[in-house]
Amino acid sequence: MEEYYLICEDSLEGIFTGIYDAYLMKKPHNRIHICLGEDDNYRLFAVYQTHPPDEKKAASVARTVIRQFGEETYLAICRALASEKPDKAEAVYKTVAAGLALKDKRDLMGNLSNPYIHRVFELARFTANEAHYHVEFLRFKELENGILYAVIGPKNNVLTFIVPHFADRLPLENFVIHDEIRNIFAMHPAKGEWYLVCGDENRLQAEHAFSEGEKKYSELFTSFFHTIAIKERSNYGLQRNMLPIRYRRYMTEFQEK
Amino acid sequence: MEGELIVQTTENKSLMEKLGILSDAAKYDVSCSSSGVGRRGDGTGIGNTLAAGICHSFGADGRCISLLKILFTNECIYDCKYCINRKSNDVPRATFTPDEICELTIQFYRRNYIEGLFLSSGIVYSPTYTMELIYEAVHKLRTLYRFQGYIHVKAIPGADPQLIQRLGLLADRMSVNLELPTAEGLKKLAPNKHRKNILSPMRQIQQGITQNKNELVVYRHAPSFVPAGQSTQMIVGATPESDYQVMMVAENLYKKFDLKRVYYSAFVSVNEDKDLPALPGGPPLLREHRLYQADWLLRFYGFEAQELLSESRPNFNILLDPKADWALRHLEVFPVEINRADYHTILRVPGIGVKSAQRIIRARRSGNLTFDDLKKIGVTLKRALYFITCNGKMMYPTKLEEDYITRNLIDRKEKLPFDKDGMTYRQLSLFDDNSELYWKQAVSG
Ligand code: SF4
């Protein structure tokens, strides 16, 4: 029996397109797979097809997911698709397929004994988790021109999940969050709507020095950070557990002055 | 300069020096939680709040740093024996201006260092005068700077109730420290404080909150009063109360004063005083940890203090957490069948937390659960296996016998707050807001 491998772009749009096309094939789901690139070990009797992203198809899948499974599940799927793990595409596809066959479609994510659903649940949790870490640990620095500038280096693509939080809390600020791994920038103009910019804008930071206030307040906070700990309770293990080392290079209070 | 009194004045101190002194003086206050109220920004200022609260950093002691925790002043006229700022201590003194407090809060907040402000204070001149200073700072922050982030303020016992009422309309959380579990303890160690003066603002805030809730039903836009609720803290280990006494007090505070949180603070010995215990082993952290565990059992697991401890068993087991300890003394109710038992029964099984119990109830609707499913759901089977059956069967044939199970449950690497992968302060704050517990479960496995 032939197996079909749909090769899709690594994006929400790309993978949703793959799911749409998988349905068009009208073959049993267990013989169709979605992947993000060609497999290393080329399989015998496997048909590989490349499916470029298609906005209309993707939108139609998104609508179906929201209508059938509800907003919460849709969000879980979006989070899973922001994951760094390549098996996310297959897991989401099989989850959607399993879901559409269910009687109680609203409770899709409750079916944790299905390995694909469990995987989506897990991937979504990793992303949510990492997004939350960024909401906690991201640090802005003020540039000379008053813009607040933050750099992050997330494993999963969390940027779009965290910007709304900051846009709501800092509506009057011009701020930029730069994902230096993917080289994408979230730009928020004061009193305006935020948007994403890809690629080559890193001149932005390089061209501007930090403001006067930046030195003053980063020193004040660093000093506060050290004083507020109770030395009789010192516990670096616990600190490490709560605040993973890999975030610290982005955090003001851990940076060498 | 031997024999000469150096009078420390506050005028010529820099902002850096003041922040050093007044954060150092505030650090023994336990709460740094920014939870309890979700509020979006209105677009005209700065800030919002998340119901779950946010930690922004973790200090060298592993405690969450969420708020700019400072005293307004440490030039205190009281002489509480356990406090570093007591009048009779010779320590550097400082006082902020309201503008300095606003500046620090806003500049720290913009940079995502903090969720907001936790403002407490020593007593200058009088409780009312002190509260007025606090009010002025908070008022400025809310109105002039349009700060919509989190504000926690201390209500000073003995201050004009009018002032507490007005401050409650600006703050998200208020707290009055109980300081010590009993009135006798308070009398001995805090001669200027009186139990009655502590309980009356607590009552006032409670009534304010209740009344406000009713108003909000009628007028949706009525200003909210202490929307994130009221908390308190007590020091444990400075006075001789038992765990049983402490838990009874806590339970009372939850039931009779509707407190959102009671914090327990292991006594840190900062002053030498004949009325204070010497603590050669350091602060009683294990005891504090057991109290927090028991506190969750009261708040989220449907336990009563009297089920956990009694006059004749007044202290927690050092080796076992209070939930396992309870289960072992009630083997007659176990094992429980996971596919049939109700939520509250499942919640009492060691190794099953609130989230897992909720997931069990949800997942078993679509079919009988197996031990494998429980593992995926997040149940700690290593602990739960003695107390449950799935479809009538236990995981392994095992004896339902106290000594045997106890030996297996005692975890030599127990998760103490000072242990590397332990029950942590983050989890403490997460329990407060259990929607978040989940996020961290993924990392901690
Ligand atoms: S009132 Fe008591 S506890 Fe508070 S600062 Fe003054 S001496 Fe310390």
Which residue's CA is the closest to the ligand 1 atom numbered 4? B122
User: Closest partner residue to A241 among B112, B370, B420, by Cβ?
Assistant: B420
Percent pLDDT > 90 in chain B is: 62
pLDDT tens per residue, range B50-62: 988 899 999 998 8
pLDDT at residue B235 tops 90:
yes
**pLDDT value of position A91:** 95
Q: How far is B379 from chain A (nearest CA, A)?
A: 13
Q: Which of B78, B84, B154 to mutate to test the pocket of ligand 1 (most atoms within 8 A of CB)?
A: B78
The CA-based angle B358-B421-A242, given to 5 degrees, is: 85
Q: How far is A48 from chain B (nearest CA, A)?
A: 33
Q: Classify burial at A223, counting beta carbons within 10 Å of its beta carbon; exposed 0-12, middle 13-18, buried 19 or more.
A: middle
pLDDT at residue B443 tops 50:
no
Percent pLDDT > 90 in chain A is: 69
pLDDT tens per residue, range A214-233: 999 999 999 999 999 988 88
Mean pLDDT of B369-393: 90
Average pLDDT, chain B: 86
**pLDDT value of position B1:** 39
Q: What is the ipTM of this complex?
A: 0.91
pLDDT at residue B239 tops 70:
yes
pLDDT at residue A74 tops 60:
yes
pLDDT tens per residue, range A15-42: 999 999 999 999 999 899 999 876 666 6
Give the residue range(s) of CATH 3.20.20.70 domains in chain B: 2-308
Architecture field, domain B2-308: Alpha-Beta Barrel (3.20)
The helix (run of H) or strand (run of E) holding residue B22 is: helix B15-24
CA of B250 relative to ligand 1 center, distance in Å? 22
CA of B70 relative to ligand 1 center, distance in Å? 13
| Closest chain B residue to A169, measured at CA | B47
Does any CB of chain A come closer than 8 Å to the CB of residue B200? Answer: no
pLDDT level of residue A146 (50, 70, 90 thresholds): very high
pLDDT level of residue B445 (50, 70, 90 thresholds): very low
Mean pLDDT of A114-136: 94
pLDDT tens per residue, range B73-113: 999 999 999 999 999 999 999 999 999 999 999 999 999 99
Mean pLDDT of B18-32: 89
| DSSP per-residue letters across chain A | --EEEEEE-SSHHHHHHHHHHHHHTTS-GGGEEEESS--SSPPTTEEEEEE---HHHHHHHHHHHHHHH-HHHHHHHHHHHTSS-TTHHHHHHHHHHHHHT-SSGGGGGG-TTSHHHHHHHHHHHHHHHHHHHHHHH---EEBTTS-EEEEE--SS--HHHHHHHHHHH-TTS-EEEEETTTTEEEEE-TTS--EEEESS-THHHHH-PBPHHHHHHHHHHHHHHHHTS-GGG--HHHHHHHS-HHHHTT-GGGS--
Average pLDDT, chain A: 90
CB contact under 8 Å between A235 and B418, yes or no, is: yes
CB contact under 8 Å between A128 and B107, yes or no, is: no
CA of B165 relative to ligand 1 center, distance in Å? 22
Does any CB of chain A come closer than 8 Å to the CB of residue B91? Answer: no
pLDDT tens per residue, range B118-172: 999 999 999 999 999 999 999 999 999 999 999 999 999 999 999 999 999 999 9
| Closest chain A residue to B40, measured at CA | A168
Percent pLDDT > 70 in chain B is: 90
pLDDT at residue A203 tops 70:
no
CA of B298 relative to ligand 1 center, distance in Å? 30
Q: How far is B323 from chain A (nearest CA, A)?
A: 23
**pLDDT value of position B419:** 33
pLDDT at residue A75 tops 60:
yes
pLDDT tens per residue, range B423-442: 343 333 333 333 333 333 33
pLDDT at residue A76 tops 80:
yes
**pLDDT value of position B428:** 38
| Closest chain A residue to B439, measured at CA | A129
